[in-house]
């Protein structure tokens, strides 16, 4: 699973997704601030990379910038995002990249699915938009559904979202994102809204499907246990800046930054049973106090 | 469909509306008399097997006139509803989805339109163009559009930032696709309720205009014409006023109840 960074550098592989000096500006009540402040992220083909940090550190905004989904009061002021050589920040409206080469799983599957559309239609939607034939899209969707653990995919096809449980909805989301075999999948806290008992299942499904499709992943999370399990490299984000990055094992076993240490100390585990869980104060340059 | 028929309001509305609809449909197959045939010797005939609802001051058969009059009412109701639904929803959804300066200009215009009394607008249009079915439809459609603009705009504004719209965008869906396939179906229930109100208001306003002699022209029958003819003889022949008024009420009440029932089912 671990792709050695040295090997990549030796072979001179180009990064698949390259975020260069990205600055994202948020305007609110005549004030503006940089919620993402010149960050650099590289993701290589087939690699699973984690982006971790506390709430409000700019993780999701980074992901939304990649997907061209920023709302009106948020804008990219400088920086570039390259996906396989194409700049995602200057795409025209009729591009065939968003949804085809790059896809995103949202945090809350219950509100991310259209309540009035059948599951089948929602899964095949992005395939049909990007020019797959109806029959092909359907067979692909059924295959993905069965691979993501449904025993009765053709029944699921005709269900409405409200007839499924949260975990099932998230598996449907995964299938709908992977139907075009994207080059990279952005997973924005895919398990946060789910029951603890099925979080592992969902992560396993994402990992195995991604591997069979050779899709890279940017996993946005604040759960460092998850990161340890599936990712090879990690970026730690604080207040819109990357404070630390590197191989997961290196960073988590010997963190250099105080913030990373604090995050690691805040992971609950059996060895800390009975002890008070570590917490930490928000850091001084928190934007809310600016 | 089954859940709608478990709702009392919907069932009541359905029955009332179908009563008038059946009356109209029967008129297409078999009209007892020519609605405009005058038979002076037989004026103010009471209800009998010969004239089921009696005759008016010129001896015209009331049932035939009501059958023909309900055609006009329902036709105008449906056409006004459809036109104002389509035009209003297109304007409102574009405004709600794209927002910006054009939206605020359109909405200011829309608001001033709403502040203008609808019937006055209709009277003005009819004064400029001659009174006819076409003018009535245009005037009533103009009156109904602002409401659809408002409601569709608010629905689109509410749903635009929702996560499933973002999700559709992240799949590369075009704006048109998002508006038609994702937002409109989720916003349509309010629009359907508004449509039912528009239908009944159009029916009422049409009879109002015909009553004033500005809608359907005499001797052609319409609820308003029948009422304005009959009111002069209200003491001589009360059923001549009561029967068309009751049928008009049944039609309007039925459509309103259908809308109420629909919204109740969709809320729960």
pLDDT, position B12: 95
Taking each helix axis from N to C terminus, what angle separates B133-159 and B100-115, rounded to the nearest 10 degrees? 130
Residue A289's pLDDT band (boundaries 50, 70, 90)? very low
DSSP secondary structure string for all residues of A4-36: PHHHHHHHTPPPSEEEEEEEEEEEETTEEEEEE
pLDDT at A81 > cutoff 70: yes
Residue A195's φ and ψ, nearest 5 degrees, are -65, 145
Cβ <8 Å between A129 and B186: no
Question: What mean pLDDT, rounded, does chain A reach?
Answer: 86
Size of interface A-B (CB pairs under 8 A): 65
Q: Which residue of chain A has the CA closest to B182? A: A114
Nearest Cα of chain A lies from the Cα of B12 at a distance, in angstroms, of 27
Residue whose C-alpha is closest to residue A141's, from A178, A183, A182? A178
Residues B129-168 have pLDDT tens digits of 888 888 889 989 998 999 999 999 999 999 999 999 999 9
Residue A263's φ and ψ, nearest 5 degrees, are -60, -45
pLDDT, position A288: 46
pLDDT at B116 > cutoff 90: no
Nearest Cα of chain B lies from the Cα of A177 at a distance, in angstroms, of 8
Distance CA A289, CA A33 (A): 11
Type and span of the H or E element at A242: strand A241-247
pLDDT, position A290: 41
A259, A283 Cβ separation under 8 angstroms? yes
Distance CA A35, CA A238 (A): 10
Cβ <8 Å between B167 and A93: no
Cβ <8 Å between B164 and A115: yes
Structure tokens belonging to residue B36 = 């405009």
What pTM, to 2 d.p., does this model score?
0.84
Distance CA A249, CA A228 (A): 7
pLDDT at A8 > cutoff 70: no
B206, B123 Cβ separation under 8 angstroms? no
Phi-psi region of B7 (alpha: psi -120 to 50; beta: other; left: phi over 0): beta
What mean pLDDT do residues B33-46 have? 84
B-chain residues near A111 (CB < 8 A):
162-164
Cβ <8 Å between A112 and B177: no
A-chain residues near B174 (CB < 8 A):
93, 129
Q: Which residue of chain B has the CA closest to A115? A: B186
Q: Which of A69, A116, A130 sits opposite B185 (nearest CB)?
A: A116
Q: Which of A96, A98, A115 sits opposite B170 (nearest CB)?
A: A98
pLDDT, position A269: 76
Nearest Cα of chain B lies from the Cα of A93 at a distance, in angstroms, of 8
DSSP secondary structure string for all residues of chain B: -TTGGGSHHHHHHHHHHHHHHHHHHHHHH--SS-TT---GGGTT--S-SSSTT-B-TT--BHHHHHHHHHHHHHHHHHHHHHHHHHHHHHHHHHHHHH-HHHHHHHHHHHHHHHHS-HHHHHHHHHHHSPPSHHHHHHHHHHHHHHHHHHHHHHHHHHHTTSHHHHHHHHTT--HHHIIIIIIHHHHHHHHHHHHHHHHHHHHHHHHHHHHTTSSSPTTS--HHHHHHHHGGGTTT-THHHHHHHHHHHHHHHHHHHHHHHHHHHHH-
Residues A175-232 have pLDDT tens digits of 999 999 999 999 998 888 888 888 888 999 999 999 999 999 999 988 888 888 889 9
Environment class of residue A238 by beta-carbon count within 10 Å: exposed (0-12), middle (13-18) or buried (19+)? buried
Cβ <8 Å between A176 and B171: yes
Mutate to test the interface with B, among A74, A114, A160, A169 (most CBs of B within 10 A): A114
Cβ <8 Å between A69 and B170: yes
B-chain residues near A68 (CB < 8 A):
169
Cβ <8 Å between B170 and A108: no
Nearest Cα of chain B lies from the Cα of A103 at a distance, in angstroms, of 7
pLDDT, position B152: 96
Reported ipTM: 0.85
pLDDT, position A280: 66
pLDDT, position A5: 55
* % chain B with pLDDT above 90: 59
pLDDT, position B74: 94
């Amino acid at each position: 699973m671990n792709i050695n960074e040295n090997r990549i550098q030796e072979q001179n592989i180009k990064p698949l997704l390259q975020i260069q000096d990205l600055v994202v500006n948020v305007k609110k009540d005549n004030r503006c601030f940089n919620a993402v402040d010149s960050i650099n992220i590289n993701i290589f083909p087939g690699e699973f990379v984690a982006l971790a940090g506390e709430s409000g550190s700019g993780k999701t905004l980074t992901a939304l910038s990649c997907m061209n989904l920023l709302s009106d009061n948020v804008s990219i002021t400088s920086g570039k995002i390259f996906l396989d050589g194409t700049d995602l920040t200057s795409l025209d409206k009729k591009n065939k990249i968003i949804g085809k080469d790059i896809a995103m799983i949202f945090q809350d599957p219950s509100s991310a699915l259209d309540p009035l559309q059948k599951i089948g239609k929602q899964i095949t939607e992005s395939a049909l938009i990007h020019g797959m034939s109806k029959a092909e899209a359907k067979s692909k969707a059924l295959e993905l559904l069965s691979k993501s653990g449904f025993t009765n995919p053709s029944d699921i096809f005709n269900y409405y979202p409200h007839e499924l449980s949260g975990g099932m909805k998230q598996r449907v989301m995964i299938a709908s994102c992977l139907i075009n075999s994207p080059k990279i999948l952005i997973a924005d806290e895919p398990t946060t809204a789910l029951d603890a008992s099925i979080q592992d299942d969902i992560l396993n499904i994402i990992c195995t499907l991604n591997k069979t499709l050779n899709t890279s992943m940017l996993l946005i999370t604040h759960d460092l246990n998850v990161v340890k399990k599936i990712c090879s490299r990690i970026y730690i984000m604080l207040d819109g800046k990357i404070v630390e990055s590197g191989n997961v094992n290196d960073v988590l076993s010997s963190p250099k930054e105080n913030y990373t240490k604090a995050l690691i100390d805040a992971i609950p585990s059996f060895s800390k049973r009975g002890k008070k869980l570590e917490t930490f104060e928000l850091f001084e340059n928190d934007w809310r106090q600016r | 469909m089954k859940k709608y028929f478990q709702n009392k309001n919907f069932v009541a509305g359905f029955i009332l509306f179908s009563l008038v609809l059946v009356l109209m449909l029967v008129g297409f197959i078999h009209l007892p008399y020519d609605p405009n045939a005058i038979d002076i010797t037989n004026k103010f005939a009471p209800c009998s097997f010969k004239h089921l609802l009696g005759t008016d001051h010129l001896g015209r058969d009331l049932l035939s006139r009501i059958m023909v009059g309900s055609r006009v009412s329902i036709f105008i109701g449906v056409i006004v509803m459809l036109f104002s639904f389509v035009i209003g929803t297109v304007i409102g959804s574009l405004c709600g989805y794209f927002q910006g300066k054009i939206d605020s200009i359109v909405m200011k215009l829309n608001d001033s339109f709403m502040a203008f009394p609808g019937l006055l607008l209709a009277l003005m249009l009819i004064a400029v163009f001659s009174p006819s079915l076409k003018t009535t439809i245009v005037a009533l459609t103009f009156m109904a559009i602002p409401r659809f603009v408002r409601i569709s705009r608010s629905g689109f504004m509410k749903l635009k930032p929702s996560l499933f719209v973002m999700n559709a965008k992240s799949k590369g869906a075009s704006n048109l696709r998002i508006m038609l396939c994702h937002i409109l179906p989720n916003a349509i229930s309010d629009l359907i309720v508004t449509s039912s109100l528009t239908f009944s208001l159009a029916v009422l306003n049409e009879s109002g205009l015909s009553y004033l002699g500005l809608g359907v022209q005499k001797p052609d029958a319409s609820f308003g014409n029948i009422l304005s003819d009959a009111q002069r003889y209200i003491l001589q022949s009360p059923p001549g006023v009561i029967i068309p008024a009751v049928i008009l009420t049944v039609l309007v009440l039925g459509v309103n109840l259908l809308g109420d029932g629909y919204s109740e089912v969709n809320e729960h």
